[in-house]
Structure 1
């Protein structure tokens, strides 16, 4: 009899544990937007569901599509790598929840070490002026030159992924969100580049990644090199190029980062741009980009943190980058990425708004730490504080 009572008590305790581990009102929210954010959202929304019981439905159709859906009240939130320049919705808050480098990936099987490209040369490649990989301007940056490379301080962190504790390596950031550069190494490189035509893959959809890449090409070439990329950045890449690329044989358009990366992977001589994870997942090498301090830096979370630390945080939560500021260790094609969310004045469903706030808090505080291999930056310092303040406006 006592044994039966013990079983009954154990069963009740187990039932109570199950009930308390699942939210009483698990719900779902819908979002759309940046393909830049997709690699992180795809893996982290699974963890969010395990932690909260809530479901995240996200369609990656590009930042422009996300902004349009948000304006038309078709989604509970959107993701965008660029802010509105027109068509502002009646109710909007930007929540910067993570950042990441925009990588320049390429397909050159005979080249066995990462190539180095300056902002000027990169603009000439993506503007259609440089059409061969053995162009003297690329050779000059890769043969018989000494390359300075920053080495960042890292640490080990234990996080829970898939219900298991795993150890991940992450950069050490100070209270202002800046990484620690332990040292700078020097190496003389002598890379032989092939007599191979360049095929440029670019985004045809309305893309925040394209807009931020265009801002870099214009901003980093300001002054004496302004002529190589004179137009204002646009979410439609072809609208910002200095030359008409519509009928250029060496330009191939694709919708979304996944197809850009796939195009480069399938074409020897191809080059494209996108969030670092698209290069990693497709086993494509990435270029080291010359920053304003004269260093060639590979895309990384630490380098992006260093670069964004030199920017200015706006009242609306967005960040304006400084492309000409000399910052040791900075990777200069980095961008903050934003959640577009409705504030209290929008009078949205309070239950869904609560999930939106929880999701963006999880994106900010958990996702980059759980998946550092995806290349996203866990925000710290003033940008983190601003993100928390913006999320608090969701009601």
Structure 2
């Protein structure tokens, strides 16, 4: 899988995000068929309901606006309840039409998906790639380097002050205060947490012993709901540190993470690069494009704390109208226009042409039951 990269973009204002709908009116999607959301597509109408990742929220706003410009009679709603909540709602009988999730379905959920979607199964399309930043609020410290073991020690509660010898060893030229560290973690079931703990587990498993989890496993620190909640909590607390989608970091400090022999800052380019050198999860269905991220890379061109977020839905829906709506929206999300809109609004890395072709095959397969 080879991904293209994009320059790091700042989050647009609400007004500019809304203007995407106007720009999208004349846009065209390069892959797909008459059911795709293109300027020449059949005009559809109806409601499409999704829920899930809060990290995807800014990108989803861009997709909603752009898609609405092409399909003005389709109402797409999205509740950023968190990845776990989104998957639970989608898998429930009579639940949402699609989910956004920062982690792919696990084996138990894949079994549940058979009940929800039938034998045709589910699609899981990488639609949003972004670095997870380790954000901090520490007056007088503008640059911060952290090795994997140091990050793990901070978040497991064994490193409690900013002048701890482990942090000092990573930052020999810094003047570090004795301020107490307040680690902030997600309170809700979160794909961002799963990606973050997967990184800790793979790179510092002797320090981080709590495994790969979606719900924070340890006591201490401060808990906050959603990406915004973590950012707000870190901003409000002197000495606080947390993990969140890089596009939402704002003016908080962002740590550089040790990769090989160098310290690497999160970026769209480095996030795309590590995913490009990662493999698909084995043993999945034809239209399941789940990725196993290579967290242990030693390349300074790659940033390993990255989330690959997915658009999840059924290959087969109960009626043709719903299938057409899902197909059109999914087609727009993975299109060059949709990925460019997300990059501009959320600072994400667009998927590669190769991955887009694979995803388009899944979109083309979406249909209604007999």
TM range (shorter): 0.7 to 0.9
- Check whether the contact 1:317–1:390 (CA below 8 A) recurs between aligned residues: no
For the 8 Å contact 2:130–2:306, the answer to whether it is kept is yes
Does residue 69 in structure 1 map to residue 89 in structure 2?
A: yes
Describe the shift of the 1:127–1:84 C-alpha distance in structure 2 as closer, same or farther (beyond 3 A). Answer: same
Shift of 1:287: 1.0
- Give the counterpart of 1:323 among 295, 299, 304: 295
The answer to whether the 8 Å contact 1:99/1:377 transfers is: yes
1:312·1:319 contact (CA, 8 Å) conserved in 2?
A: yes
2:160 aligned residue (131, 135, 153)? 131
Tell me which residue corresponds to 1:300.
267
Deviations 1:328-355 (A, max 9, x none): 41011012111111112xx323222222
Question: How many residues are aligned here?
Answer: 312
CA RMSD of aligned residues (A): 2.1
CA distance in structure 2 between the partners assigned to 1:336 and 1:359 by the alignment? 19
Paired with 1:388 and 1:22, the residues of 2 have a C-alpha distance of 15
Shift of 1:253: 0.7
Higher relative contact order (CA 8 A, sep 6+): 2
State the alpha-carbon separation in 2 of the partners of residues 385 and 231 from structure 1.
37
- Unpaired segments of 5 or more residues in structure 1? 1-19, 144-189, 239-243
Quickly say closer, same or farther: Cα 1:114–1:392, change in 2 above 3 A. Answer: farther
Does 2:98 align with 1:81? no
2:225 alignment partner in structure 1 = 255
Q: Residues 1-395 of structure 1: matches in 2 within 5 Å?
A: 24-53=43-72, 54-72=74-92, 73-85=94-106, 86-87=108-109, 88-90=112-114, 91=117, 92-111=122-141, 113-143=142-172, 190-221=173-204, 226-238=205-217, 244-245=218-219, 248=220, 251-280=221-250, 283-291=251-259, 293-314=260-281, 315=284, 316-344=288-316, 347-365=317-335, 366-373=337-344, 374-395=346-367
Q: Is the 8 A contact 2:44 2:325 kept in 1?
A: no
Deviation at 1:327, TM superposition (A): 2.6
Residue 15 of structure 1 aligns with which residue? none
- The CA deviation string for residues 158-194 of structure 1, in whole angstroms up to 9 with x for no partner, is xxxxxxxxxxxxxxxxxxxxxxxxxxxxxxxx22222
Match of 1:168 in 2: none
Deviations 1:81-111 (A, max 9, x none): 1122224321222111121111111111222
Q: Which moved more, 1:113-122 or 1:123-132?
A: 113-122
Whole-Å Cα distance in 2 between the matches of residues 236 and 230 of structure 1? 14
Q: TM-score by structure 1 length? A: 0.74
| Partner of residue 4, structure 1 | none
Deviations 1:21-80 (A, max 9, x none): 997433320000111111211233112211221221000101111111111131110011
Note closer, same or farther for the CA distance 1:45–1:24 as it changes in structure 2 (3 Å cut): closer
Helix, strand or coil at the partner of 1:89: helix
Q: In 2, Cα distance between the equivalents of 1:371 and 1:34?
A: 14
Distance 1:211 1:384, change over 3 A: same
Distance 1:29 1:268, change over 3 A: same
* Distance (Å, rounded) in 2 between the aligned partners of 1:325 and 1:299: 14
| Distance verdict in 2 for CA 1:132–1:367, change over 3 Å | farther
| Cα offset, 1:392, TM superposition | 2.4
CA pair 327-394 structure 1, distance change in 2 beyond 3 A: farther
Matched-pair contact (CA < 8 Å) for 1:368–1:378 = yes
